[in-house]
Amino acid sequence: MLSNTEKELIVQIWDKMIPVAEDIGSEALLRMFTTFPKTKTYFSHLDISPRSDHLRCHGKKIVQALAEGARNISTLTTTLAPLSRFHAYQLRIHPTNFKLLNHCILVTLACYMGENFTPVAHAAIDKYLSAFSAVLAEKFR
Amino acid sequence: MVQWKAEERAAIQAVFAKLDYESVGRETLTRLLVVYPWTRRYFGGFGNLFNSEAIMANPKVAAHGIVVLRGLEMALKNMDDIKNTYASLSELHSEKLQVDPGNFQLLGDCLTVVIATRMRTEFTPDIQAAWQKFLAVVVSGDGS
């Protein structure tokens, strides 16, 4: 359940990430692969070494999707429908992995924003990422 | 028993060396109570925890934050035997305080985020991985 203040905060934060989408996205993925090596199994078709083109490109897609979702929070299910189908029917990711990437996104934002990543911002983004992941996993069964 | 590589020990020591227990402890517990509000159930004697402003200003939260970090320091000093080091703390949390063990993971996550806000680019993916391996051992030592 997101308050209006939280929704505004979420949009503000993700809008700031759009110009650095490649950096933020690739860093979150790299953190996830380093801390939770089992997550690499879903990316065996890509070169996910640090600073690789695939990592930067994929990271950018993730941040752009998160930014778009932020601007359409009340219609997440509709906005994310294609991504939701993709994750359910093609990627078939074990749902626990969403939490691992979400945590690494939080850590990346914390490193990037420093003290501006306040407890209130942390709570808002965590709630948003949970809601986003739930929509992505919606069609799994 | 957990095996630690030399670089992992060094990374974990380096993170601890930078920790200001008072400020990091207070902020970690604050984030736990703000981001995961159900955890307030364990702190009934702490007074006003009704909203984020109250939590951030609460002196008992600040004091307890230091207690938590001192507890974590015990694991740092006994990295090769964390499970036994935490035997009595584990019993306290499970038998007396009856904390749902899932919440230890959340506290660890909040601490990691606070460290990230302080260390920023110095909290590299490799250092994060070592730090989280340490926390995982602590959480399982405290949760059993």
pTM: 0.94
- What residue in A sits closest to B125 (Cα-Cα)? A31
List the 58-97 stretch of A: residues with Cβ below 8 A of B: none
Proportion of chain A in helix, strand, coil states, percent, rounded to 5: 80, 0, 20
Q: Do A113 and B117 count as a contact with CB atoms less than 8 A apart?
A: yes
What's residue B142's pLDDT? 56
Structure confidence by residue, pLDDT tens digits, A70-93: 999 999 999 999 999 999 888 998
Q: Which residues on chain A are in Cβ contact (under 8 Å) with B109?
A: 103, 106
- Asked whether residue A43 carries a pLDDT value surpassing 80, the answer given is yes
Chain centroid to CA B31: how far? 11
- DSSP-derived letter for residue A49 is S
pLDDT of residue A135: 94
Q: Does A40 touch chain B (CB under 8 A)?
A: no
Query: In A, which residues are within 8 Å of B56 by CB distance?
Result: 119
Nearest to A34 by CA among B75, B139, B123: B123
Q: Which of B31, B123, B133 sits opposite A111 (nearest CB)?
A: B123
Rounded to an integer, what distance in angstroms lies between the CA atom of residue A89 and that of residue B95?
Answer: 44
CA of A89 to nearest chain B CA: how many angstroms apart? 30
Asked if residue B86 lies in contact with residue B141, where contact means CB atoms within 8 angstroms, the answer is yes
* pLDDT band of A49, cuts 50, 70, 90: very high
pLDDT recorded at residue B17: 93
* Amino acid type, B108: G
Contacts of B128 in chain A (CB under 8 A): 31, 34-35, 107
d(Cα B17, Cα A76) in Å, to the nearest integer? 43
Closest chain B residue to the Cα of A31, Cα to Cα? B125
Note the ipTM here: 0.91
Q: What confidence score (pLDDT) does residue B144 get?
A: 43
User: 3-class SS at B74?
Assistant: helix
Across the range A96-104, mean pLDDT stands at: 96
Nearest by CB: A120 against B34, B114, B121: B34
Round to whole Å and give the CA distance between A29 and A58: 9
Which residue in chain A has the smallest CA separation from B117?
A: A114
Contacts of B50 (CB under 8 A, 6+ apart): none
Contacts of B129 (CB under 8 A, 6+ apart): A31, A34, A35
A141 falls in which pLDDT band (50, 70, 90)? Answer: confident
CA distances from B85 to B89, B138, B144 (A): 8, 10, 13
Nearest CA in chain A to B108: A103
Nearest beta carbon to residue A122 from set B35, B123, B129: B35
Measure CB to CB from residue A35 to each of B31, B114, B129 and give the nearest one. B129
Q: Which residues of chain B have pLDDT under 70?
A: 142-144
* Buried/exposed B55-89: b ≥16 CB within 10 Å, e otherwise: bbebeebbebbbebbebbeebbeebeebbebbeee
For residue B37, the distance in angstroms to the closest alpha carbon of chain A comes to 10
Residue pair B8/B108 in contact (Cβ under 8 Å)? The answer is no
